[in-house]
Chain A
Amino acid sequence: MKSVALHLGVLVLLVVAQFLLPSYHANNLSRILVLAVFAMGYNIAFGYSGLLSLGHALLFAAGMYGAGMLVHHAGTAALLALLIGTLAGGIMATLVGLLALRTAGVSFMIVTLMFAQVGFLTILYFNGVTGGDEGIALTAPERQFIGLDLTQDAPRFWVALVLFVIALAANLALVRSRFGRVMLAMRENEERSRMLGFNPYVVKLQILVISGLFSGAAGAAYALLFGYIGGSFASVQYSILPMLYVLLGGAATVLGPLLGAGLMFYLIDFASGLTSAYLMVVGAALVALVLFAPKGILGTIRERWLPWLP
């Protein structure tokens, strides 16, 4: 009950914030919501299930290019492109998972990293259609979403918020379901869950596909909402970022990804206003945060004060 109230409260806060914030911050909120969906996807694999991937940029990029190239080259409707982009994330996760899940732990981390690197280079290699590193700027007609003009700030926010709400609900339902408990069991003790009759390979593949759907949806939404697709989104940096969001906000917490994405965004934004050496401030803040809240912010709060936090 407390948990439902908390999440509803957060949503109300987001809606109110959109109306009250100056437009710069309101638009940042849209960005943060989409990035939070990406981080939620990462959290499902890493936080809840212990799959330490360094290749999620590939899944994000699958969604981004799946949707972006369809609207740009084929004139596909944006809604359909968003759905296909989401699926592309899931399909890419299936392909990666089938191979990479033969490994575990740090080997899994490295294999996913290398597959993502292959994906990044492939985008550069086929620059004729992908735009390579320079990317493609999507035009206004390509960004009409069931009657909503995504080049405008307000429709953009509502689409981002709806996507976030769907992801949040899916995330909550998932962790409360039987499958959610299997996920945790897989993280805590793979051998025991095997003895209980679960095939770890199949379960992990399912987890990764769900994670891929989240990431693909985020990538597709980012392309349509902000009008640009480019190779830099497939680089290793975008595999590290969701991990950072999750670890900052709190691994295996439902709201951690949102908190982490928002915190990281404003950390950079604020520090770059103070000094041109803002990366130093960001770095020091990361070290300080992890010293005082090693389980991430919500993880630490849950450990010390609010054990019911999902």
Chain B
Amino acid sequence: MAFGPYLLLALMEGLVKAAVLALTAVGLSLVFGVMRVVNVAHGAFFMLGAVLAYTVAQYIPGPAALGWLAALVIAPMIVAAIAAAADTLVLKRLNYDPEATIVATIGLLYILEQAALSFFGPDARPVEAPFTLRLQLPWFGFSGYKLFVILAAIAILLAVWWFMTRTRAGLVMRATQVDRQTARAFGIDVDRVYAGVFALGAALAAIAAVLLVPISQSHYLMGGDPLLLSFIVVIIGGLGSLRGTVVAALIIGISDGVISMFYSPTLAKIIATAAVAMVLVFRPQGLFGARA
């Protein structure tokens, strides 16, 4: 394929990757930013979203779009409820001690993965896309649904931004992020805020997963990569910076695609990973973070 169309394809693929990644990472960024908790189970929440999407879609008769829409509503709600329960039952009692929460969320990850394996099985399962539309460009074809994913992710990210900056709940969350003690002094129920943030973060991961499953598929071990990539995105973007998270997701998604144009796939992955690590080495506070 000629260079121009190839680049176009790499950019389009990169955007799709970035969209899903940004959505997954924003949830982690919220949890990280507000609660200072390293949530190792974030990828498991993502996986759970995908697995539940398959399960829900199985039970909804009628056109594929209906099942998918139902999954988009139901799966994040279930995942959010599980996350809120985990926060109240475990993380709160640990006083959000950074080291203890790492162990606890690793434990949670094992529990969720095993639950998915036991109830859902080890096989990869697809979810039908709400619509099938193949765009034929002069050089190659592209999935219309993938373009929809980009638009949907932008819409959801805008909604999150609006929620955080324009609503009272968002204000409360940001206040808690800046200073937990002062927030408490002003009568904010910090416990409820934390449970809410943890649930919201998990729900965002689940939404990202429901958007992704029609492209990819659900599998009980699928949470590993989103977890690692989300962490990378959150840190590169700068802790707690929504804008930074989106920019970092774009950098990682697109660099991966473009670098793979020039090298063999594995070598491209090596170079892309090393390059992104170097961004942090020379800008340790992340792209948009204030120096700690």
Contacts and interface: CB of A to CB of B under 8 A. Distances in A.
8 contacts: A99-B278, A114-B276, A125-B267, A244-B106, A280-B115, A282-B110, A283-B107, A283-B111
Given A290-B104, A294-B100, A283 B110 contact: yes
B100 A104 contact: no
Interface residues of A, number: 42
A289 B103 contact: yes
B189 interface: no
A267 to B, nearest CB: 11
B225 to A, nearest CB: 10
Interface stretch (A24-32, A116-124, A169-177): A116-124
B202 interface: no
B228 interface: yes
Interface stretch (B132-140, B165-173, B282-290): B282-290
B235 A287 contact: no
B269 interface: yes
A1 B229 CA distance: 48
Interface of A is mostly: helix
B277 A125 contact: no
Interface string B241-275: 00000000000000000000000001101100110
Interface in A78-127: 99-100, 102-107, 109-111, 113-115, 117-118, 121-122, 124-125
A111 B277 contact: yes
Interface string B106-135: 111111111101100000000000000000
Contact of B104 (A102, A124, A286): A286
Contacts of A277: 114, 117-118
A121 B107 contact: no
**Interface bracket on B:** 35 or more
A192 B90 CA distance: 35
A111 B281 contact: yes
A64 interface: no
Nearest to A235: B224
A125 B270 contact: yes
Contacts of A240: 40, 106
Contacts of B114: 277-280, 283
Interface in B70-112: 90, 93-95, 97, 99-100, 102-104, 106-112
B277 A114 contact: yes
Nearest to B276: A114
Contact of B281 (A102, A113, A278): A102
Contacts of A16: none
A113 B282 contact: no
Top 3 nearest A-B pairs (CB, nearest first) are: A283-B110, A286-B107, A283-B111
A284 B118 CA distance: 15
